[in-house]
Structure formats: structure tokens, C-alpha cells
Amino acid sequence: MTDAEHFSIAYGEMHLDYAVVRRARKTLEIAVEPDTSVVVAAPLDSTPDAIAAKVRKRAAWIIRQQRFFAQFMPRLPARQYVAGETHRYLGRQYRLKVVPHVQQIVKMTRGYIVVQTHHPLSTEVTKDLVEAWYRQKAQAKFIERIDANLPRFPDGDARRPKGLIVRHMKQRWGSMSPGARLMLNRRLIEAPLDAIDYVITHELCHVTEANHGRAFYDLLAKVMPDWERRKLRLERAMA
């Protein structure tokens, strides 16, 4: 958000930080993003004092929204990368098995994620191998699911991301850049498939609807009528 102005107001004992993005529009819109940040889309001639007054008026609602989103932020569990530990893939749980082997490879078999390694006693080596395996699986599966979800939109081909980045993110499951580059949280590969589809479809809506305003949710509901059920499943599965 390179063209945003950043402000803060006092509300009781709290401070509310918010970003202002000026647009050629007649009304002011306040949105709380899933990472709990506050974005105000304001007319070009709005004064900082007038915007602050609107934010203060909606402060109680903003705080409620922030608390709602905060409880569903991705929470990375502490992993030890030792044999017997539980790891998830596409909504199912698998036990970690670490075995000495001349090859360094990770594979799934019969309810296990099996790590073959030269250094079976090194949790750091196991971690690196497992994470590389997850990233490889995520890259392939996310591309597959992008292709599967584009037909939801009448202009699906025009929404195809110009690039896909898979990385760990602390506060988001995904984001779509203004240049239509899609970023997805590596941990999303642990979620059920319908939850992955929800996140991807959510981000594809952002190609034309930058903020979480009414137009965004109207579009999301049109192309994925059961998005709320999918979102709830994601939040429960990954909490």
C-alpha cells in the first residue's frame, strides 16, 4: 500500500492505528483486514480531522472486528521434528517417522510422513527436509487449485495470477499484490482442500476488489456461496 497515509487516534486507553488511501469516490469506507490492520478508503478532499472523527465514531466496531480476526490468525505450533510427532497434510494427520538411509528423501506412506536421512538424530536436518517437502507439495497443489478455482469467475482467465509465491506468513493465509502476484502461506497445505480453495478464491476476488467492502463480499458470495462454511473449517482445522 505505497500510497497510504498512516495515522493513529486515542480511544480510551488504547491507540488505534489506521491507513488512509485516497480515491476518487464520494463516501468514506472503513475496513478491518484479516491481519487486524485498519484501512480507510477516503474521498480525495477529506481532511485528516474528518477522517479521524469517522474512525473514532466506529472505534468500538473496529475493535470488535480486530478481536474477531485475531483469534483466527495462523498460530504456528512448536514443532520438534522428532519421530512420532503429528504433522498435517491436506487436513489429515500423519505421524513423523525418521529412518537412517543412504538417500535424503521425504515421502508419505500408510499414515506416516517418512523422512529418510543421513542424519536421523539431527532434528535440524529433519526439519529442513520436511519443510522442503512441504514447500514442493504446496507449490504444485496451489497451482492445481488456482486452475480449479478460476472457472468460478466469468472472467477467470483475466484473474490468473502473474506469479505464485509460497512462504511462511505470521498473520495471513494469503495476499494478492496490486500487480496480481499471489502469495500463499506455506502452512495452508496442511488445511483441507475446500479451505485451500476458499483462500485462493478469496484472493482472486481481490484482483478487482482491493478492500473488504460490500462489493468484495458480494462477489465472493456470488462465486462461492458457501465461503463462510469453508472459512470456519479453515479456522477450526488450523487453530
38 is in which domain, residue-wise?
A: 5-70
pLDDT score recorded for residue 12: 82
Residue 148 above 70 pLDDT? yes
Q: Are 116 and 233 within one domain?
A: yes
- First vs last C-alpha separation in the chain: 28
Q: Are 38 and 91 within one domain?
A: no
pTM greater than 0.85 (yes/no)? no
Q: Is residue 52 part of a domain?
A: yes
Residues 88-99 as b/e (b if ≥16 CB within 10 A, e otherwise) read bbebeebebbbe
pLDDT tens profile 162-179: 999 999 887 789 999 888
Domain count, the chain: 2
Residue 123: which pLDDT band, with cuts at 50, 70 and 90? very high
Q: Are 113 and 213 within one domain?
A: yes
Higher pLDDT, 66 or 157: 157
pLDDT tens profile 47-76: 999 999 999 999 999 998 888 877 766 555
Q: Are 125 and 196 within one domain?
A: yes
Q: Are 66 and 173 within one domain?
A: no
Q: Are 66 and 105 within one domain?
A: no
Q: Are 209 and 98 within one domain?
A: yes
Q: Is residue 115 part of a domain?
A: yes
**Hey, which bits of the chain come out as E strands?**
5-11, 14-23, 29-32, 38-43, 86-89, 92-100, 105-109, 112-117, 163-167, 174-176, 181-185
Query: Looking at 44, 70, 96, which one is the last position of a domain?
Result: 70
How would you classify the pairing of strands 92-100 and 38-43? unpaired
pLDDT tens profile 73-121: 655 557 899 999 999 999 999 999 999 999 999 999 989 999 999 999 9
Torsion, Cα 116 119 121 127, to 10 degrees, reads -70
Q: Is residue 81 part of a domain?
A: no
How would you classify the pairing of strands 181-185 and 174-176? antiparallel
Q: Is residue 42 part of a domain?
A: yes
Q: Is residue 79 part of a domain?
A: no
